[in-house]
Protein backbone atom coordinates (compact mmCIF):
# COMPACT_ATOMS: atom_id res chain seq x y z
CA UNK A 1 0.00 0.00 0.00
CA UNK A 2 2.90 2.38 0.63
CA UNK A 3 3.78 2.09 -3.06
CA UNK A 4 0.18 2.27 -4.26
CA UNK A 5 -0.78 5.18 -6.50
CA UNK A 6 -4.15 3.86 -7.58
CA UNK A 7 -6.72 6.38 -6.32
CA UNK A 8 -9.57 3.90 -5.97
CA UNK A 9 -7.47 1.45 -3.97
CA UNK A 10 -6.19 4.25 -1.76
CA UNK A 11 -9.74 5.43 -1.15
CA UNK A 12 -10.56 1.93 0.08
CA UNK A 13 -7.56 2.07 2.43
CA UNK A 14 -8.70 5.40 3.90
CA UNK A 15 -12.28 4.19 4.20
CA UNK A 16 -11.17 1.06 6.06
CA UNK A 17 -8.99 3.12 8.42
CA UNK A 18 -11.80 5.63 8.97
CA UNK A 19 -14.30 2.86 9.78
CA UNK A 20 -11.86 1.26 12.21
CA UNK A 21 -11.22 4.63 13.85
CA UNK A 22 -14.94 5.22 14.29
CA UNK A 23 -15.62 1.71 15.61
CA UNK A 24 -12.71 1.64 18.06
CA UNK A 25 -12.06 5.21 19.25
CA UNK A 26 -15.24 6.94 18.06
CA UNK A 27 -15.90 10.32 16.45
CA UNK A 28 -14.34 12.49 19.15
CA UNK A 29 -11.15 14.37 18.31
CA UNK A 30 -8.97 15.14 21.33
CA UNK A 31 -7.10 18.43 21.62
CA UNK A 32 -3.78 18.37 23.49
CA UNK A 33 -2.16 21.70 24.39
CA UNK A 34 1.48 21.68 23.32
CA UNK A 35 4.05 23.71 25.28
CA UNK A 36 7.60 23.70 23.93
CA UNK A 37 9.44 24.32 27.17
CA UNK A 38 13.05 24.56 25.96
CA UNK A 39 14.94 24.41 22.67
CA UNK A 40 18.32 23.72 24.29
CA UNK A 41 19.53 20.27 23.30
CA UNK A 42 22.70 18.25 23.82
CA UNK A 43 21.92 15.85 20.99
CA UNK A 44 23.10 15.95 17.38
CA UNK A 45 20.16 14.45 15.43
CA UNK A 46 20.97 15.07 11.77
CA UNK A 47 17.44 16.12 10.80
CA UNK A 48 16.62 18.45 13.70
CA UNK A 49 17.16 22.21 13.76
CA UNK A 50 17.59 22.16 17.55
CA UNK A 51 20.72 19.97 17.39
CA UNK A 52 23.49 21.29 19.65
CA UNK A 53 25.79 22.18 16.75
CA UNK A 54 23.27 24.57 15.19
CA UNK A 55 24.41 27.97 16.40
CA UNK A 56 21.92 29.87 14.28
CA UNK A 57 18.96 29.08 16.49
CA UNK A 58 18.13 31.52 19.29
CA UNK A 59 17.93 29.37 22.39
CA UNK A 60 15.23 29.82 25.04
CA UNK A 61 14.00 28.07 28.13
CA UNK A 62 10.58 28.86 29.60
CA UNK A 63 10.37 29.59 33.31
CA UNK A 64 8.13 27.53 35.57
CA UNK A 65 5.79 30.53 35.79
CA UNK A 66 5.61 30.73 31.96
CA UNK A 67 4.77 27.04 31.77
CA UNK A 68 2.13 27.27 34.51
CA UNK A 69 0.55 30.21 32.69
CA UNK A 70 0.40 28.08 29.51
CA UNK A 71 -1.21 25.26 31.46
CA UNK A 72 -3.86 27.65 32.79
CA UNK A 73 -4.50 28.92 29.25
CA UNK A 74 -4.91 25.33 28.04
CA UNK A 75 -7.46 24.70 30.78
CA UNK A 76 -9.22 27.99 30.02
CA UNK A 77 -9.68 26.82 26.40
CA UNK A 78 -11.43 23.71 27.72
CA UNK A 79 -8.58 21.29 26.95
CA UNK A 80 -7.70 18.50 29.39
CA UNK A 81 -4.12 17.59 28.46
CA UNK A 82 -0.86 19.51 28.41
CA UNK A 83 2.10 18.14 26.45
CA UNK A 84 5.47 19.41 27.67
CA UNK A 85 7.97 19.00 24.86
CA UNK A 86 11.59 20.03 24.60
CA UNK A 87 15.11 19.28 23.58
CA UNK A 88 17.35 17.33 25.93
CA UNK A 89 18.20 20.37 28.03
CA UNK A 90 20.84 19.43 30.61
CA UNK A 91 19.80 22.25 32.95
CA UNK A 92 16.32 20.82 33.42
CA UNK A 93 16.88 18.90 36.62
CA UNK A 94 14.73 15.96 37.56
CA UNK A 95 13.52 17.35 40.89
CA UNK A 96 12.39 20.74 39.62
CA UNK A 97 10.58 19.12 36.67
CA UNK A 98 8.83 16.84 39.18
CA UNK A 99 7.85 19.95 41.16
CA UNK A 100 6.47 21.58 38.02
CA UNK A 101 4.44 18.48 37.12
CA UNK A 102 2.98 18.43 40.65
CA UNK A 103 2.15 22.12 40.45
CA UNK A 104 0.39 21.72 37.08
CA UNK A 105 -1.62 18.80 38.44
CA UNK A 106 -2.61 20.71 41.57
CA UNK A 107 -3.44 24.01 39.88
CA UNK A 108 -5.20 22.72 36.76
CA UNK A 109 -5.92 18.97 37.01
CA UNK A 110 -4.67 18.63 33.42
CA UNK A 111 -3.32 15.27 32.28
CA UNK A 112 0.43 15.74 31.83
CA UNK A 113 2.18 14.24 28.81
CA UNK A 114 5.96 14.52 28.54
CA UNK A 115 8.07 14.56 25.37
CA UNK A 116 11.52 15.43 26.68
CA UNK A 117 13.74 12.83 25.05
CA UNK A 118 15.86 10.22 26.81
CA UNK A 119 16.27 10.21 30.58
CA UNK A 120 17.25 7.63 33.16
CA UNK A 121 14.54 5.20 34.34
CA UNK A 122 14.87 6.78 37.81
CA UNK A 123 14.09 10.24 36.46
CA UNK A 124 11.21 8.94 34.35
CA UNK A 125 9.81 7.13 37.40
CA UNK A 126 10.12 10.30 39.49
CA UNK A 127 8.13 12.28 36.91
CA UNK A 128 5.52 9.54 36.81
CA UNK A 129 5.18 9.65 40.59
CA UNK A 130 4.80 13.42 40.34
CA UNK A 131 1.75 12.94 38.13
CA UNK A 132 2.88 12.67 34.48
CA UNK A 133 1.02 9.75 32.90
CA UNK A 134 1.95 9.79 29.21
CA UNK A 135 5.29 9.90 27.40
CA UNK A 136 6.03 10.52 23.72
CA UNK A 137 9.33 9.23 22.39
CA UNK A 138 9.59 8.40 18.71
CA UNK A 139 11.96 5.63 17.66
CA UNK A 140 12.30 7.69 14.43
CA UNK A 141 13.26 4.70 12.25
CA UNK A 142 13.45 0.96 12.85
CA UNK A 143 16.43 0.63 10.50
CA UNK A 144 19.40 0.37 12.92
CA UNK A 145 22.02 1.62 10.48
CA UNK A 146 19.95 4.68 9.50
CA UNK A 147 19.24 5.28 13.18
CA UNK A 148 22.91 5.18 14.04
CA UNK A 149 23.91 7.33 11.08
CA UNK A 150 21.52 10.13 12.07
CA UNK A 151 21.98 9.97 15.85
CA UNK A 152 25.70 10.47 16.49
CA UNK A 153 27.01 9.97 19.99
CA UNK A 154 23.67 8.52 21.02
CA UNK A 155 22.99 5.18 22.61
CA UNK A 156 21.56 3.48 19.51
CA UNK A 157 18.23 2.02 18.48
CA UNK A 158 18.15 -0.95 20.92
CA UNK A 159 18.51 1.38 23.87
CA UNK A 160 15.79 3.73 22.55
CA UNK A 161 13.48 0.72 22.20
CA UNK A 162 14.42 -0.49 25.67
CA UNK A 163 13.51 2.93 27.02
CA UNK A 164 10.05 2.61 25.46
CA UNK A 165 9.64 -0.67 27.35
CA UNK A 166 10.86 0.95 30.57
CA UNK A 167 8.32 3.75 30.16
CA UNK A 168 5.61 1.10 29.81
CA UNK A 169 6.88 -0.77 32.89
CA UNK A 170 6.86 2.44 34.94
CA UNK A 171 3.20 2.81 34.03
CA UNK A 172 3.17 5.49 31.35
CA UNK A 173 0.83 5.47 28.42
CA UNK A 174 3.47 5.22 25.67
CA UNK A 175 3.59 7.05 22.36
CA UNK A 176 6.12 6.67 19.60
CA UNK A 177 6.43 7.04 15.87
CA UNK A 178 8.69 7.79 12.95
CA UNK A 179 9.66 10.36 10.39
CA UNK A 180 8.15 9.71 6.96
CA UNK A 181 10.60 10.15 4.10
CA UNK A 182 13.78 10.40 6.13
CA UNK A 183 16.64 10.42 3.59
CA UNK A 184 17.72 6.83 3.01
CA UNK A 185 14.41 5.39 4.29
CA UNK A 186 13.15 2.71 1.88
CA UNK A 187 9.62 1.39 1.48
CA UNK A 188 10.75 -1.80 3.22
CA UNK A 189 12.06 0.28 6.15
CA UNK A 190 8.80 2.18 6.49
CA UNK A 191 6.79 -1.05 6.25
CA UNK A 192 8.84 -2.45 9.11
CA UNK A 193 8.35 0.78 11.09
CA UNK A 194 4.59 0.31 10.86
CA UNK A 195 4.80 -3.33 11.98
CA UNK A 196 6.80 -2.09 14.95
CA UNK A 197 3.84 0.06 16.06
CA UNK A 198 1.96 -3.17 16.78
CA UNK A 199 4.98 -5.02 18.18
CA UNK A 200 5.47 -2.20 20.68
CA UNK A 201 1.70 -2.19 21.36
CA UNK A 202 1.72 1.60 21.28
CA UNK A 203 -0.94 3.72 22.97
CA UNK A 204 -0.17 6.76 20.80
CA UNK A 205 1.36 6.87 17.32
CA UNK A 206 2.72 10.15 15.91
CA UNK A 207 4.02 10.31 12.36
CA UNK A 208 4.97 13.28 10.24
CA UNK A 209 6.86 13.99 7.05
CA UNK A 210 10.55 14.81 7.30
CA UNK A 211 10.92 18.53 6.54
CA UNK A 212 14.51 19.51 5.60
CA UNK A 213 16.06 22.16 7.82
CA UNK A 214 18.78 24.14 5.99
CA UNK A 215 21.03 24.39 9.07
CA UNK A 216 21.33 20.61 9.53
CA UNK A 217 23.34 17.86 7.80
CA UNK A 218 20.14 16.67 6.07
CA UNK A 219 19.17 20.17 4.99
CA UNK A 220 19.67 19.70 1.30
CA UNK A 221 19.04 16.04 0.68
CA UNK A 222 16.56 15.14 -2.04
CA UNK A 223 15.09 11.91 -3.26
CA UNK A 224 18.11 9.83 -4.25
CA UNK A 225 16.91 6.34 -5.15
CA UNK A 226 13.64 4.87 -6.42
CA UNK A 227 13.37 3.00 -3.11
CA UNK A 228 13.50 6.31 -1.19
CA UNK A 229 10.17 7.08 0.49
CA UNK A 230 8.95 10.58 -0.45
CA UNK A 231 8.57 12.95 2.49
CA UNK A 232 5.14 14.25 1.56
CA UNK A 233 1.58 14.51 2.80
CA UNK A 234 0.25 11.65 0.65
CA UNK A 235 2.75 9.20 2.09
CA UNK A 236 1.94 10.42 5.60
CA UNK A 237 -1.82 9.83 5.08
CA UNK A 238 -1.00 6.26 4.07
CA UNK A 239 1.10 5.75 7.20
CA UNK A 240 -1.67 7.18 9.42
CA UNK A 241 -4.20 4.80 7.84
CA UNK A 242 -1.92 1.78 8.19
CA UNK A 243 -1.10 2.75 11.79
CA UNK A 244 -4.83 2.87 12.59
CA UNK A 245 -5.41 -0.53 10.99
CA UNK A 246 -2.45 -2.26 12.63
CA UNK A 247 -2.93 -0.74 16.10
CA UNK A 248 -6.65 0.17 16.13
CA UNK A 249 -7.00 1.48 19.70
CA UNK A 250 -4.08 3.91 19.58
CA UNK A 251 -4.54 7.66 19.72
CA UNK A 252 -3.17 9.04 16.45
CA UNK A 253 -2.58 12.78 15.99
CA UNK A 254 -2.51 14.84 12.86
CA UNK A 255 0.97 16.22 13.52
CA UNK A 256 2.11 19.79 13.02
CA UNK A 257 4.63 18.58 10.39
CA UNK A 258 1.78 17.14 8.32
CA UNK A 259 -0.23 20.35 8.69
CA UNK A 260 2.89 22.28 7.68
CA UNK A 261 3.49 20.42 4.39
CA UNK A 262 -0.24 20.46 3.62
CA UNK A 263 -1.73 23.55 5.30
CA UNK A 264 -4.87 23.48 3.15
CA UNK A 265 -6.27 20.02 3.76
CA UNK A 266 -3.65 18.13 5.80
CA UNK A 267 -5.70 18.29 9.00
CA UNK A 268 -8.97 17.29 7.33
CA UNK A 269 -7.49 14.46 5.29
CA UNK A 270 -5.48 13.18 8.27
CA UNK A 271 -8.72 13.01 10.30
CA UNK A 272 -10.37 11.09 7.45
CA UNK A 273 -7.45 8.65 7.21
CA UNK A 274 -7.64 7.38 10.80
CA UNK A 275 -6.39 10.21 13.06
CA UNK A 276 -8.28 11.31 16.21
CA UNK A 277 -5.98 13.81 17.96
CA UNK A 278 -4.53 17.26 17.33
CA UNK A 279 -2.01 19.22 19.39
CA UNK A 280 -2.56 22.99 19.13
CA UNK A 281 0.48 25.03 20.09
CA UNK A 282 0.33 27.02 23.37
CA UNK A 283 4.01 28.00 23.51
CA UNK A 284 4.20 31.76 24.27
CA UNK A 285 4.44 33.78 21.06
CA UNK A 286 7.80 35.29 22.00
CA UNK A 287 9.43 31.85 21.90
CA UNK A 288 7.30 29.82 19.52
CA UNK A 289 9.26 30.75 16.40
CA UNK A 290 12.49 29.59 18.02
CA UNK A 291 11.31 26.00 18.48
CA UNK A 292 12.37 25.43 14.89
CA UNK A 293 12.93 21.68 14.63
CA UNK A 294 12.10 22.32 10.96
CA UNK A 295 11.35 25.59 9.13
CA UNK A 296 7.97 27.07 8.30
CA UNK A 297 5.93 25.45 11.07
CA UNK A 298 2.30 26.15 10.38
CA UNK A 299 1.52 27.11 13.97
CA UNK A 300 4.49 29.48 14.35
CA UNK A 301 2.47 32.56 13.45
CA UNK A 302 -1.12 31.57 14.22
CA UNK A 303 -2.67 32.81 17.48
CA UNK A 304 -3.90 30.10 19.84
CA UNK A 305 -7.50 31.25 19.52
CA UNK A 306 -7.43 31.38 15.69
CA UNK A 307 -5.75 27.99 15.45
CA UNK A 308 -8.31 26.33 17.72
CA UNK A 309 -11.20 28.02 15.95
CA UNK A 310 -9.97 26.80 12.53
CA UNK A 311 -9.47 23.27 13.83
CA UNK A 312 -12.94 23.18 15.40
CA UNK A 313 -14.55 24.47 12.18
CA UNK A 314 -12.90 21.66 10.24
CA UNK A 315 -14.12 19.09 12.75
CA UNK A 316 -17.66 20.37 12.64
CA UNK A 317 -17.70 20.23 8.83
CA UNK A 318 -16.71 16.56 9.03
CA UNK A 319 -19.39 15.77 11.61
CA UNK A 320 -16.74 14.97 14.20
CA UNK A 321 -16.97 16.13 17.81
CA UNK A 322 -14.50 17.68 20.24
CA UNK A 323 -13.32 15.05 22.71
CA UNK A 324 -14.55 15.34 26.29
CA UNK A 325 -12.71 13.98 29.30
CA UNK A 326 -9.03 13.12 29.34
CA UNK A 327 -9.00 10.94 26.25
CA UNK A 328 -6.85 8.09 27.54
CA UNK A 329 -6.01 5.50 24.93
CA UNK A 330 -8.50 2.61 25.04
CA UNK A 331 -5.38 0.49 24.80
CA UNK A 332 -4.29 1.74 28.17
CA UNK A 333 -7.68 1.01 29.68
CA UNK A 334 -7.42 -2.54 28.40
CA UNK A 335 -3.95 -2.86 29.92
CA UNK A 336 -4.43 -1.31 33.36
CA UNK A 337 -8.15 -0.80 33.70
CA UNK A 338 -9.95 2.37 34.80
CA UNK A 339 -8.92 5.95 34.13
CA UNK A 340 -5.53 7.45 34.79
CA UNK A 341 -6.66 10.78 36.10
Which positions touch ligand SAH (CB under 6 A)? 47-48, 85, 87-88, 115, 117, 137-138, 140, 179, 208, 210-211, 213, 257, 293-294
Closest distance to ligand SAH from the beta carbon of 231 (Å): 8
Show the 3-state SS of 176-225.
Answer: ECEEECCCCCEHHHHHHHHHHHHHCCCCEECCEECCCCCCCCCCCCCCCC
Question: What Cα–Cα distance (Å) separates residue 60 from each residue in 34, 41, 66, 204, 268?
Answer: 16, 11, 12, 28, 32
Q: Output 13 or 101, the one with its CB closest to ligand SAH.
A: 101
Q: Output 13 or 85, the one with its CB closest to ligand SAH.
A: 85
What are the beta bridge partners of residue 112?
82, 132
C-beta of residue 41 within 8 angstroms of C-beta of residue 88: yes
Closest distance to ligand SAH from the beta carbon of 54 (Å): 11
Q: Would you list the DSSP string of 276-317?
A: -EE--B-S-HHHHTT--SSTT-TTSSS-HHHHHHHHHHHHHH
Closest distance to ligand SAH from the beta carbon of 179 (Å): 5
Q: Output 109 or 214, the one with its CB closest to ligand SAH.
A: 214
Q: Output 213 or 269, the one with its CB closest to ligand SAH.
A: 213
The beta-carbon contacts of 192-197 under 8 Å, at least 24 apart in sequence, are 192/142, 192/143, 193/139, 193/141, 193/142, 194/239, 194/242, 194/243, 194/246, 195/246, 196/139, 196/142, 197/243, 197/246, 197/247, 197/250
Closest distance to ligand SAH from the beta carbon of 209 (Å): 6
DSSP code of residue 142: S
Closest distance to ligand SAH from the beta carbon of 296 (Å): 10
Closest distance to ligand SAH from the beta carbon of 150 (Å): 10
Q: Output 13 or 260, the one with its CB closest to ligand SAH.
A: 260
Q: Output 39 or 247, the one with its CB closest to ligand SAH.
A: 39
Amino acid sequence: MLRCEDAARLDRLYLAADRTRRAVVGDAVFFRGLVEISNYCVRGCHYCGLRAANHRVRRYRLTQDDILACARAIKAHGLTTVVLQGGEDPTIDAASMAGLIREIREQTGLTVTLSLGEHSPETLALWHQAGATRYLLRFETSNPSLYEQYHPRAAGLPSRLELLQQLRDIGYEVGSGVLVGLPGQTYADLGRDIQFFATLDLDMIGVGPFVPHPDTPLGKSGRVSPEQVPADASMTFKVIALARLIQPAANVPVTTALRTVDPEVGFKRGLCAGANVVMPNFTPEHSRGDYAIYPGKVTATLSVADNIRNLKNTLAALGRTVGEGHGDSPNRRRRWGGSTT
